[in-house]
Structure 1
Amino acid sequence: MKKMLIAEALLMAACIVPAVAQQKPADDPKLKIYRETVTKINDLVHTKLDVRFDYKKRYLYGKEWITLKPHFYPTDSLRLDAKGMDIKNISVVKNGKNVPLKFTYDSLSLAIKLDKVYGNNETYIVYLDYTAKPDELKAQGSAAISDAKGLYFINPDGTEKDKPTQIWTQGETESSSAWFPTIDKPNQKTTQEISMTVPAKYVTLSNGRLAAQKTNTDGTRTDTWKMELPHSPYLFMMAVGDFKIYKDKWRDKEVNYYLEPKYAPYAKEIFGFTPETMEFFSKKLGVDYPWNKYAQIVVRDYVSGAMENTSATLHGEYVQGTPRELMDAGYDGGRSTIVHELFHQWFGDYVTAESWSNLTVNESFADFSETMWAEYKYGKDEGGAHIYDDLQSYLRSADAKNKNLVRFHYHDKEDVFDVVTYQKGGTILNYLRNYLGEDAFYKGLSIYLKTNAFKNGEAHQLRLALEEASGRDLNWFFNEWYFNAGHPVLDITYKWDEGTKTQTVYVNQTQTGDAFILPIAVDVYAGGKKERHQVWLRNKADTLTFKVASKPDLVNVDGDKVVPTKKTDKKTLEEFAFQYANAPLYVDRREAIAAAIPAQGDKNAQKIIIAALKDKYYGLRIKAIDAANMANDDVRNAAQPILMDIARNDKDNNVKAAAITVLGKLKASGMIKIFRDGVQSQSYAVQGASLNALAQLEPAEALKVAKSLENDSKGALATAIMGTYAIAGGDAEWPYVYGKYKEMGIQAQFDSAQEFADLAGRVKNPAYAQQGIEVLKNMGVKYKKYGIAPFVITTITGIKTKRTELKDDASVKAADDAIKAINDAK
C-alpha cells in the first residue's frame, strides 16, 4: 500500500498539530501487549465466492465454499473472521450435500463446531450463505487507511452529478472479512475463485484470470475470476464499474489499465512504463514477475493511496491525469506510486509479511523500490532526492525515533503503517545495499524470494538470505536497525595540523542511548584528488586521523550519503562551496545549498546559490530559486538574468514556474512579457505562476486573463485563478471558486483556505457565503483528528467577522453553527 495520505492528511498534520500521536501516551496499556504471530489452527486452501450486489441497500449477497485443513494438530473447530454480517447458513459439504453446522457469532467472528475431528492429512469444505453490510459496519481506519469497511459502494444511486457508480474493495489490513468470511490474517494463503453478478453494462476486475463470462436473462452478467496461485486474504479484490480497458503486455503476459472513459485516451501516458518496470524488477531480483497478469485500475473516493492486490493493483485518482496535468507531475506525482505497488507483487504478495509486526518486509521494500526505479530511469540525482526525502520525512516525525522497525508492541495494527515502516525502512535498505554492494544485496533478495515463494517471511529470513549471499554476519545490523529504535545523531568537527600534516575528524554521536555501529566512507579532497577511506564508527565519540600532503579542501564524512542520520557538519562555507562544486551526489549539493541559505551576505554562500540556479537536477534548481535572497543586491544582480533565462527556457515546467514566481514578486514592469507569454503555456504550473505574477503588476488584466482560462484550469492554474478572484473577484466569480475548491484534495484545500474564505467573506449573496462556510465546516469535522480544527475555526471566524460587518445575520448564524459542529465532532 502506498500511503498517499502521507501526502495529504499526514502532511497536513505535520503542518498543524500531531494530534494522533497525542492521543496515544506512552503508558497506553495496549502498547504493553506482545503482538505475536497469529497461531495457525486451520489453513485456508481454496476460497470460492459467488456474490451479487444490492446497490440500493449497499449489501453484498454471498455464497462461499472454503476448503481448509488443520495446520498440524487435529481439530474439531473453526474460527472465521466475519465482520458485521447476517449469517444465514453454515454447513460442511459431504458428498455434494450441505450438512448444517452449529456456530456462534459475535458480529466479528464465527466460532464453528465441525462435524468431526479432522487431522492435518484431511481437507474439508465449509459452505456459508451470508449478507455483508459494509455501510452499517462500525470500522475505524487509520492515518494510512482512512476507513476499514472492506467493500465500498460509490454513488450507487447515481445521485451525485459527474461521479460514476462503482464498487471496489480494500482488504488491508483485515477488512476483507467485511465482505467474505475468512481467516483474515496475513500468514494465511489460499487460491481463489470469485463469480460476480453485475449489471451487464459494467466491467469487472479481480485477481488472476477472467475464466468465464455468462450473460443472464435479467440484464446482468456473471464474471468468474480465478487465482490459481495462493495469496493472502487481504489481497483479494473486486472492482465493478464503467471502465475502459487499455491492453498492454509484458513478455507473454497481459498488462491492462482500467480507467474511466474520460481518462482512457491517456492510459499509455499514465501507465505505459509498467512493462519496462516489470522487466527491470524481474531482472534485478532474479525472479520473474510471478503472476499470470497485471492490471491497474483507478477508482473514485479511494481511502488510501493505492493497494497492491495480487495481480490487480487499485489506485486512487491522483495517479491519473491528462497530458497537460502529467507534464507537471514529476516522479512523485503518481509514477512512484505505480512503481511502489508493482514491487509489492514480489515483496508483499509473492512473499508476505508473516505478521503486521513484520510489515517492514512488505512496505520498506516497496518504499525502497521507488528509489531503485528513480535511479535507473531518471538518474542518480532523482534516486538521491527520493531517498533523502524519505529520511527527512522520518526525522520530522516527533515520535518515530521511539519505534522499532520490527514492532511487536503497538496500539493497533494500523499504526505500523507509518514513517518508520515506510520511509525509515527504505533508507535502512539503501544503507544495507551500500554496505553489502549491489550484487550481494540483490542476490540476497533473490534468495529470500525463492526460499519463501508463495509463503510468508519476516526480518530474520531476510537476514539469513542476505548472509547466505554475502557471507557476512548481519546480526549486528538487524539488531541495530530492525529490532531497535532511533537513529544516530552525529556532530562532526575538524582540525588540521600543518606541522604533522594530519587531518583529524571528530565524530560524536549525541543521541540518547548506545552508540550505533556505522560502516561509513570518508572522502578526503586534497591536491586536486579524492582519496576514499572506509571506516567504522563504533563509539559515542570517534576520532579519525588521516595523513595528507596538504590541507584538504574538503573532508566529506559519509561520502556515499547513505547513513540514516541527523547530523551537524561543522564545515566552513568555503568548504561547502568546494563540496557543491566537486562532490558528486544530490545530497552533497543539497547540504551546501542548505548551509548557504541563511548566510547570503557571504561571498561563498552567494557562489553556492548562484551556481545552484543552474544545477543539473531540477529539484535543486527549484530549491536555489526559492532560497535566493532577492533583497540582497549582490544576489539579485547575479540571479535576476539567470531567473529570466530559466523562466523562458528551462526544460522543467516546475522550475520555470518557480522562477516566474520569484520574478513576479519583484514587480518589475520590464518582465511583463515573460508573464504574458507564460499564461499561454501548456503547463498549468507555468500558467498559474504567470497569472499570479501578472496580478502583481496588472490586476485588471490578470482578472480578464483568469476569466479566459477558466474552461481548462487545473492544479496550479486553478489555484492561481482562485487567488486572483480572492483579491479582485466578486459574486460573478464565486461559482468557479466554490466548484474548484470542492474538487481539491485536502492538502490543497488547506493551503487555499484563507483565499477561499476571503472571497466567502466579501461576496454580496449570503447563500454564497454559507456555501463557503459549509465546505470549511465539513473539512474541519472530517479531518479534526489530524489537528486541523483550530485552523478551520479561525478561518470561519474571519468569515463571520466580515459577514457581521455586512449585517448578514443568516451567514453569521451559519458560521456559529459550523464552529459548534467542529467543536462537537469526535
Structure 2
Amino acid sequence: MNLKPKKILKNSLILSFAIGLLITSSCKSEKNIVQDRVQVTPSTDTDSLAEVEKRRVLRLIQEKEAKISGYKASARRDFDLLHTDLDLAFDWARQAVFGKARLKLVPYFYPQNELVLDAKDFEVGAIYLIQEEEQRKLNYRYDEKQLKIYLPSVFTSKDTLEVEINYTAFPERNSGEGSEAITDNKGLYFIDPLDTIPGKPTMIWTQGETEHNSKWFPTIDKPNERHTHLFKLTVPDSLVSISNGELIKQEQLGNGFRKDYWEMNLPHAPYLAAIAIGDFGKVEAKWRDIPLGYYVEKGFEKGAAKVFENTPEMIGFFEEKLGVNYPWPKYDQIVVQDFVSGAMENTTASIFYEDLRLNEREAIDSEWDYIIAHELFHQWFGDLVTTESWANLTLNEAFANYSEYLWNEHKYGEDQAALKLVSEMEGYFAESETKQVDLIRFDYVESEDMFDSHSYNKGGVILHMLRKHLSDTAFFEGLKLYLTKHAFQSVEVHDLRLALEQVSGEDLNWFFNQWFLDKGHPELFFEVDYSQPENILISAFQVQDLENTPLYQLPIEVSWYEGGIRKSKTMRMTQAFQQLALENGTPVTQVYIDEGKNLLARRTQEMSADQFAIQFKESKLGVARYEALDSLVAREAKDQLLEILPMALKDSFWSVRENVLGFLQNDPEWREQVDGLEETVYELAENDPKNTVRAAALDLLATWDPERYQPTFLRLANDSSYLIASSALMGLVSATESPVDPAIIGRFEKEGNFRISIPVAEYYIQQEVTGKGQWFMDRLAQLSGEGLYFFLGYFAEYFSRFPEEGKDQAINRLMGLMENDPKSYLRMGAFQALLGFADDERVIQKLNEVASRETDQNLKNYYNYFLETLN
C-alpha cells in the first residue's frame, strides 16, 4: 500500500542537534554507560537513593507488564481456508451486497466442532454444510463482527468441509472508523451509486487492508491465511468488472445484467482480494506472455498509456534483480475515484487513487513511477510472500518502499535515487521527533498504526544499508532464496534474516537486533583533525540516548578526492567513541563522511562555508552537491554562493539546477552580481531537458522582469507541458506595468488542469475582475486531489475580497469539504481557506464545531492550534 504522494524535500541534509552526553572514555561498554547514568540521577532533599531506585524498578515493571498485556500475537489458525466461491450482486440504491459464499476449509491441527469466520455488518441468512452435494442446515451465533457456526460433529485435520453462507452485507454500516493512513474501513465502496453527482462516475471498488474485506464477504480475515477463489459478479452490462486472477467466463443474464467469472487459482491472503466495477476504458500492454491492463475512466486512456508506460520495463527489471519471475497470470492497474489511500497492491489488480487519472497532455509531466513501482514490487513482497502478522508489516512495506529507490537507480540514475533515499530519511526523522518504536512491534494499538514512517521509510533505508553491508550479489541472492523458499506462505522477520545468512554465510543477528527489533537511530558527532594531511584523524562519537536506543555497530565511509578521483575507506564503528587514522599517504585537505548519505543517522560535523563550497566543486555525487548548495543557502554564505552559482546552474543533476533556481527567486539582487546569469537562466527556460527545471527558470524570469519576457511567456503558455505552460501563464499575469490582455486569459478560462486554473485565478484576484464567482465555483467542483488543495486558497481569497460574488455559498462549500472529504490534507486545506473568513463569527463557531469532531488527531491538533490563536 502507498499512503500518499511523496515529494523530495528540499531541507538541509545536515540536521544539527545539541550533544547531550559527554563521553570521557573510549573503552566503556553500553552497560557501563547506562549504569553511570543511573548512578548520577540527581536526588532531592526528600528522596533517598533507595526511593529513586524503587520508583525506577516500578516503572520498568509497569512497562514490561504493559508490553505483555498489549502483545498482538499472530492469528491462531484453527482452520485452513482452502477456497472461496463467491456469488455477488449489488443493490446500488441501498449500497448493499447480496452474497452467497461457499467456503472450503480443513481444521488446521486440532479437532474442531465450531467454525468462526470474520463477517462484519451482515444480515445473515441460512447457513449449510455441503456434503456430497447434500445441504445440512447449521445453527450459528452472530455478533455483527464474527460468525460462529456450530458444526454437527467434530472434524479433524483429515476432513475437508464446505459451508454455504447466504447473507447481505452493508459496508456503509459502522464506517468512518479508519486511521490516518487508511481513512475508512468500509471494505467495499459505492461511488455515486445513483449517478446523481455531476462529473462523478458510478463505481464500486474495494480496499481490504488490513482486515476490511470481511465487510463484504465472510472469511478468515488474517494476513497469515491463504485461499484461492472464484468470484462471480453480477454487474450492469454497460460496466466493466476487474478482479484478481483471470476472467474465465462472461454470462449474459438479460434485463441489462451480466455475470463475470474471475478465477484466482493461486493462493493469497484474503485482504488482497479485490473487485472494481465501473465504466472503465482499458489500455492493453504485455510483458512477455503476461497481459497488462491499465483501467481508467473513459476519455483518459491515452493518459493512462503514458502514466503506466514503464510497467513492462519495471517488471523485467525487478525479475532480473530478484531472479524470480513475476509470479501471477496477469497484472491490472486500476484508477478509481475517492480512494481511501494512495494505492493498494491487490494481487494482480492494484488500485490507485484518482490523481493518476491524467489526460494525454497532463501525463507528459507524470511523476508517478514511484507509486507504480511500489505497488508492483508488492506483487513479490506482500502478495507472493506475505507478513504473517501486522507486527511484521515492514516485511511488506519496507521492500515496496525500497523498490522506489531501485527503480530510480535503474531508470534515472544514482543521483536521483540517493536524493530519494534522503527524503525517506527526513520523513522518518520528522516522525521520530514524537514517535520512536521498534520496527517489528507486537504492541501496536490498532493494526493501522503500523502504517507509518517507521514501517515504510525507516524500513526501506534499513534494507539499503543491509544491501550495502552484504554486497549486491549476496543481498539479491538472499532475496531470491527468501522469495522462492516462502512462496505463497507467511513470513516473519527471522525468515528474512535466515535466508540472507544462508546465502552470505554471515551471522546477521546484530544487524536485525539493532535495526528491526529495537527503536531509535544513531546520533553521531564527528571531528576531523587535518593537522597531518597525509594521515588524517577522524574521531566519531555516538551520542544518542543509550538508555532507550542501542549502541550501534555502523559502517562509516570516509571519502576524499585525489586529482579528481574519488577514494574511500570504511571504518566499522562498534563503540561510543572511536578514532580512525586514514593513512591516506597523499596529503588531503578535505574528507567527507558518508558522502553518499547511505547511513540512517543524524550527524553533526563542523564544516565551514568554504568547505561546503569545496564539496560542491569536487564531489562526484549529486546528493553531496545538493547538500553543499542547500547548506550554503541556509547559511546565507554569499561569497561562496557567488562562486558556485554558475556551476550549479549547469550541474549535471537536474535537482541541483532546480534547487538553485528556486533559491535565486528569493533575492533579486543576484541578477546583477553574476555575469551572464540571466542569459543562463533564459537558456534553461528554453532548452533544459527537464520540464521542472524549465518551469523553475520561467518562474525566476517572472520574478526578475515579467514585462521583458512577455513574448516568451506568451509563446510558452501554449507549451504541451502543463508545468511550463503554467509558469509561463503566471509570468504573463505577473506583469503590472502592462497587464496581460484579458482576451488571452479568456482563452485559458475553460482549461480544466489546476496548473492553468491557478494563474487564471491569480489574474482575476490581482486585476479585481468581478463576475467570476461561478467560474470559481465550477473549478472547485471539477478539481480533485492535490490540484484542489492548491486551488482552495485562491478560491477563498476571491470570495473574501468580493463577498457579493457568493461568499456564503463559498463558505458552505468549504465547510462541506472540511467536514466530509475523506482525505485529511483536503480537510486541512479547506480549514486553511476558511481562515480567510476569520472575521465572520459564524465561521469561527463552525470551525470549532468541526474541529471538535475531527477523528484525525494530528489534524485536530493543527485545527486547535490556529483556533486558539484566533480566540
TM-score by length of 2: 0.87
The residue correspondences of 1:262-281 to structure 2 (distance < 5 A) are 262-281=299-318
Equivalent of 1:211, from 248, 255, 261? 248
1:683–1:235 Cα change, 3 Å:
same
Paired with 1:28 and 1:779, the residues of 2 have a C-alpha distance of 43
**Kept after mapping to 2: 8 A contact 1:81/1:108:** yes
What is the match of residue 14 of structure 2?
Answer: none
The residue correspondences of 1:305-704 to structure 2 (distance < 5 A) are 305-330=342-367, 334-399=368-433, 402-498=436-532, 501-513=534-546, 514-526=550-562, 528-549=564-585, 551-628=587-664, 630-633=667-670, 636-638=673-675, 639-667=677-705, 669-698=707-736, 700-701=739-740, 703-704=742-743
Paired with 2:439 and 2:257, the residues of 1 have a C-alpha distance of 48
**Helix, strand or coil for the counterpart of 2:530?**
strand
Shift of 1:433: 0.9
Paired with 1:131 and 1:102, the residues of 2 have a C-alpha distance of 18
Name whichever of 717-726 and 54-63 sits farther off: 717-726
Paired with 1:234 and 1:408, the residues of 2 have a C-alpha distance of 20
What is the match of residue 710 of structure 1?
Answer: 749
What is the match of residue 248 of structure 1?
Answer: 285
**Helix, strand or coil for the counterpart of 2:158?**
coil
Shift of 1:749: 4.4
Paired with 1:266 and 1:708, the residues of 2 have a C-alpha distance of 23
Paired with 2:720 and 2:620, the residues of 1 have a C-alpha distance of 34
Instruction: Show CA shifts across 1:577-605 (max 9, x none).
Output: 23223322232112111221134444333
Equivalent of 1:726, from 757, 765, 784? 765
1:559–1:787 Cα change, 3 Å:
closer
**Kept after mapping to 1: 8 A contact 2:299/2:359:** no
Equivalent of 1:815, from 843, 847, 856? 843
**Kept after mapping to 2: 8 A contact 1:394/1:420:** yes
Name whichever of 458-467 and 771-780 sits farther off: 771-780
What is the match of residue 760 of structure 1?
Answer: 799
Paired with 1:138 and 1:268, the residues of 2 have a C-alpha distance of 35
Paired with 1:285 and 1:42, the residues of 2 have a C-alpha distance of 33
**Helix, strand or coil for the counterpart of 2:476?**
helix
Instruction: Show CA shifts across 1:729-760 (max 9, x none).
Output: 44422222222234444655454443322211
Q: Figure out how many residues of one structure are paired with residues of the other and give that number.
A: 795
**Kept after mapping to 2: 8 A contact 1:28/1:411:** no
The residue correspondences of 1:132-143 to structure 2 (distance < 5 A) are 132-143=169-180
**Kept after mapping to 2: 8 A contact 1:176/1:236:** yes
**Kept after mapping to 1: 8 A contact 2:754/2:791:** no
Equivalent of 1:825, from 853, 856, 870? 853
- One-letter amino acid of the structure 1 residue matched with residue 750 of structure 2: N
Paired with 1:788 and 1:53, the residues of 2 have a C-alpha distance of 30
Shift of 1:356: 0.4
1:87–1:369 Cα change, 3 Å:
same
Matching of residue 106 in structure 1 with residue 143 in structure 2: yes
What is the match of residue 865 of structure 2?
Answer: none
1:593–1:439 Cα change, 3 Å:
same
Paired with 1:256 and 1:785, the residues of 2 have a C-alpha distance of 27
Shift of 1:323: 2.7
Instruction: Show CA shifts across 1:274-305 (max 9, x none).
Output: 11211111121111111111111111111111
1:254–1:501 Cα change, 3 Å:
closer
Paired with 2:637 and 2:646, the residues of 1 have a C-alpha distance of 13
Shift of 1:306: 1.0
Paired with 1:784 and 1:169, the residues of 2 have a C-alpha distance of 15
Name whichever of 706-715 and 118-127 sits farther off: 706-715
Paired with 1:502 and 1:176, the residues of 2 have a C-alpha distance of 63
1:94–1:790 Cα change, 3 Å:
closer
**Kept after mapping to 1: 8 A contact 2:78/2:108:** yes
1:641–1:489 Cα change, 3 Å:
farther
Structure 1: gaps of 5 or more residues:
12-25, 802-811
Paired with 1:374 and 1:793, the residues of 2 have a C-alpha distance of 36
Shift of 1:641: 2.6
1:278–1:530 Cα change, 3 Å:
closer
What is the match of residue 94 of structure 2?
Answer: 57
What is the match of residue 805 of structure 1?
Answer: none
Matching of residue 298 in structure 1 with residue 335 in structure 2: yes
Structure 2: gaps of 5 or more residues:
12-62, 855-871
- One-letter amino acid of the structure 1 residue matched with residue 226 of structure 2: K
Paired with 1:739 and 1:66, the residues of 2 have a C-alpha distance of 49
**Helix, strand or coil for the counterpart of 2:98?**
strand
**Kept after mapping to 1: 8 A contact 2:785/2:826:** no
Shift of 1:718: 1.9
Instruction: Show CA shifts across 1:251-272 (max 9, x none).
Output: 1121112121111233321222
Paired with 2:564 and 2:78, the residues of 1 have a C-alpha distance of 67
What is the match of residue 44 of structure 2?
Answer: none
What is the match of residue 20 of structure 1?
Answer: none
1:775–1:489 Cα change, 3 Å:
farther
Matching of residue 192 in structure 1 with residue 225 in structure 2: no
Shift of 1:797: 5.1
Shift of 1:695: 2.3
**Helix, strand or coil for the counterpart of 1:700?**
coil
1:114–1:423 Cα change, 3 Å:
same
1:540–1:77 Cα change, 3 Å:
same
TM-score by length of 1: 0.91
**Helix, strand or coil for the counterpart of 1:4?**
coil
**Kept after mapping to 1: 8 A contact 2:191/2:202:** yes
**Helix, strand or coil for the counterpart of 2:404?**
helix
What is the match of residue 34 of structure 1?
Answer: 71
Shift of 1:177: 0.0
**Helix, strand or coil for the counterpart of 1:741?**
helix
Paired with 2:128 and 2:150, the residues of 1 have a C-alpha distance of 10
Paired with 2:128 and 2:716, the residues of 1 have a C-alpha distance of 69
Shift of 1:353: 0.5
What is the match of residue 18 of structure 1?
Answer: none
**Kept after mapping to 2: 8 A contact 1:596/1:609:** no
**Kept after mapping to 2: 8 A contact 1:703/1:724:** no
- One-letter amino acid of the structure 1 residue matched with residue 369 of structure 2: R
What is the match of residue 17 of structure 1?
Answer: none
1:535–1:710 Cα change, 3 Å:
same
Paired with 1:283 and 1:813, the residues of 2 have a C-alpha distance of 62
1:823–1:602 Cα change, 3 Å:
closer
**Kept after mapping to 2: 8 A contact 1:81/1:181:** yes
Paired with 1:755 and 1:357, the residues of 2 have a C-alpha distance of 43
**Helix, strand or coil for the counterpart of 1:216?**
strand
Paired with 1:368 and 1:684, the residues of 2 have a C-alpha distance of 30
- One-letter amino acid of the structure 1 residue matched with residue 798 of structure 2: L
- One-letter amino acid of the structure 1 residue matched with residue 731 of structure 2: A
1:323–1:784 Cα change, 3 Å:
closer
Paired with 1:310 and 1:778, the residues of 2 have a C-alpha distance of 35
Paired with 1:389 and 1:783, the residues of 2 have a C-alpha distance of 28
Paired with 2:113 and 2:80, the residues of 1 have a C-alpha distance of 13
Shift of 1:800: 5.8
Paired with 2:100 and 2:595, the residues of 1 have a C-alpha distance of 60
Paired with 1:592 and 1:144, the residues of 2 have a C-alpha distance of 34
RMSD: 2.6
**Helix, strand or coil for the counterpart of 1:524?**
strand
**Helix, strand or coil for the counterpart of 2:749?**
helix
**Kept after mapping to 2: 8 A contact 1:6/1:144:** no
Percent identity between the two aligned chains: 34
**Kept after mapping to 2: 8 A contact 1:731/1:764:** no
Paired with 1:732 and 1:261, the residues of 2 have a C-alpha distance of 33
**Helix, strand or coil for the counterpart of 2:93?**
coil
